[in-house]
Structures are given as structure tokens and as C-alpha cells.
Amino acid sequence: MTEEEALARAVNLPCWEHPNRPEILGGGITNFNVKMSDGDKTYVVRIGDDIPVHGILRWHELMICRAAHAAGMTPAVYYHEPGALVLDFIDAKTFAEDDVRDPSNLLRIVDLVRRCHRDVQPHLRGPVLTFWVFHVLRDYAATLREGASSYMSRLPDLLSTADQLEAAVGPIDVVLGHNDLLAANILDDGTRLWLIDWEYAGFNTPLFDLGGLATNNGLSEPQERQILEHYFEGSADSYWRAYTAMKCASLMRETMWSMVSEIHSTLEFDYSEYTAENMSRLEKALADFRNT
């Protein structure tokens, strides 16, 4: 699908009375986001079908969005149909990585993550997916083999490392995780923070979101210890090895996600550069983990 096709799909949805000012918003690398006005209200239309190779199922995203809105964390769903999800538009700043690292924001974000883990689950209805990163990694490896990926020679080492990381994580607590804590999925309207894009949400350990927050946004080790202490209300030491293992797994997942996208995505995005960037981050994180 092209940007023009996404705009046409958004404009022609049956929920509008007087659609106007459609524009593509940046940030989507698994879908198109279209800002639309209808009368005096403004919406965001997420255009995208299921993506089985990434475990993205739009019925599940819809259910999680409704629950997260009921918990006061994400915009309301206005309309949906297969391949299109219409949400209220939030007039807010979209965070960049340096906004996440900003000391005035960081612990606010951790509070938002804790609310996600605690407050969304009571509003869920129906079956809910589990996002266990080590299953995701093994499934990605199979997908890359089937697609004759140029990264096939790397897979044995990646999977062996994943097994070591899974053992290091050990027993877990289970929460409803967002599982995609990129800076662009956090909004600040000047009064409060919002969390958007629930494609990968599902039951998981809180360490995955905390690790993803760190790796996706370049947190320093003192900041990592700070977020652990704030989240768990105690010393980071007892969580540190399991956390650093899950942080590595989060980076491995982002790397292999990009490898899979290189051979399966039709969106215009430089996935090979994204793969290289995340592989570099992964190698550094693994070196730090092996020194713990």
C-alpha cells in the first residue's frame, strides 16, 4: 500500500460526515497513520492489516486499545473495521529519545509503564495474547530460514544466546505489557502522558518493558538503575541480572524484527539500516551482560 492509497482508504471510511484535511503522520513502520478532521473533531486513522510474521492481529489491538482507554492511558476508539482503526486525536508532543532521557520526564514515564501493567488488565475482555520474547525470537528465526534471509548464518549464534538469556531471566511476574516502548509511542499534552500503538501488547514480564524503554531510548546505566528502583520501590541489585538479560532479549527482538521486515514489509523504510543500528546496540548490551 502507498501513502496515496492509505489516504484514500482513510477518507472513504463510512464513519465520516464531512471528512477534510487528511495528512500522513510520521512514525508508523508497520502501518500508515492518517490525521483526519470531520466537522470540528480530529482523529487519527491507523491503516494496516494483520501481520502474522510479527504476531500483529488487529482484533487484539482493538481490544487492548479499548481497555487502555478505559484505564485512562490512550485515546478513545471512534470507529473500526478490518484494516482501519479510528482514534481520537490527542494534541500533544510526540516524544523523541532525548525527551525520554530527560530527568524531568523519565520517572513520569516509569509511572505510566506501571499504570499500564496494573490498570489495563481489569478492563480486558476475551482472549489475550502472551508476548514471550524468547518464543518470538525462535519464531523469527524460523521465518528468516523460510525466507532465505541474508542473515541466516547469524541465526545459530543468536538462538544460542537467546537460550542463555532466557535461563538468566528465570521466574517472572506476569503483567499486561505494552511491549513496544519506542519514544514515539509516548505523548505529552502538557498535563499528562499518553501511551499509544498497542500492536504488540500482551502478557509479559515487567522487565521487558523496562528493558525496552532503556534500549530503545539510550538510557545510561545510572538511569537504568533509577527506573528499576522507582518501579520496584527498592534496590535495583536483586533485579539487575534478570533485567540486563531481558534488555538484551528486547534488543535481539528489535534486531530480528527488522531482519524479518527486510524480506516481508512493503512499507518504504530503511530496514537494513535499522537492523545494523540495533545489532550494534545488541552487541554492546551483550558485552555488558556477560560482565555482570
Let me know whether 12 and 70 are in one domain: yes
pLDDT (tens digit, 9 = 90+) per residue, 206-234? 999 999 999 999 999 999 999 999 999 99
Let me know whether 127 and 32 are in one domain: no
Band (266; pLDDT cuts 50, 70, 90): confident
Let me know whether 108 and 139 are in one domain: yes
Give me the CATH number covering residue 97.
Answer: 3.90.1200.10
Pairing of strands 77-81, 32-38: unpaired
Pairing of strands 93-94, 186-188: antiparallel
Mean pLDDT of 120-147: 96
Band (4; pLDDT cuts 50, 70, 90): confident
Cβ atoms 133, 249 nearer than 8 A = yes
Q: Give the pLDDT of residue 21.
A: 87
DSSP-derived letter for residue 75 is P
Let me know whether 138 and 212 are in one domain: yes
Q: Give the pLDDT of residue 119.
A: 98
Mean pLDDT of 254-258: 94
Let me know whether 101 and 179 are in one domain: yes
Mean pLDDT of 76-94: 96
Mean of per-residue pLDDT scores for the chain: 94
Report the number of distinct structural domains present in the chain.
2
Residues 6+ apart with CB under 8 A from 122: 71
Let me know whether 125 and 265 are in one domain: yes
Band (11; pLDDT cuts 50, 70, 90): very high
The SS3 assignment for 226 reads helix
Band (29; pLDDT cuts 50, 70, 90): low
Let me know whether 117 and 252 are in one domain: yes
Query: ∠ CA 24-25-30 to the nearest 5 degrees?
Result: 95
Residue 27 has pLDDT above 70, yes or no: no
Residue 261 has pLDDT above 80, yes or no: yes
Let me know whether 126 and 17 are in one domain: no
Let me know whether 43 and 125 are in one domain: no
pLDDT (tens digit, 9 = 90+) per residue, 185-196? 999 999 999 999
Give me the CATH number covering residue 48.
Answer: 3.30.200.20
Let me know whether 102 and 182 are in one domain: yes
What span, in angstroms and rounded, lies between the C-alpha atoms of 186 and 203? 20
Residue 28 has pLDDT above 70, yes or no: no
Mean pLDDT of 32-47: 94
Let me know whether 24 and 148 are in one domain: no
Residue 74 has pLDDT above 90, yes or no: yes
Band (156; pLDDT cuts 50, 70, 90): very high
Residues 6+ apart with CB under 8 A from 200: 54, 55, 56, 131, 178, 179, 180
Mean pLDDT of 259-273: 87
Let me know whether 60 and 161 are in one domain: no
What share of the chain in percent tops pLDDT 70? 99
Cβ atoms 48, 5 nearer than 8 A = no
- Domain end residue (candidates: 88, 103, 119): 88
Q: Give the pLDDT of residue 269.
A: 82
Q: Give the pLDDT of residue 204.
A: 97
- Domain end residue (candidates: 42, 62, 88): 88
Q: Give the pLDDT of residue 184.
A: 94
Q: For the chain, give the number of residues.
A: 292
Q: Give the pLDDT of residue 8.
A: 92
Structural domain of 37: 3-88
- Domain end residue (candidates: 88, 123, 154): 88
Residue 180 has pLDDT above 90, yes or no: yes
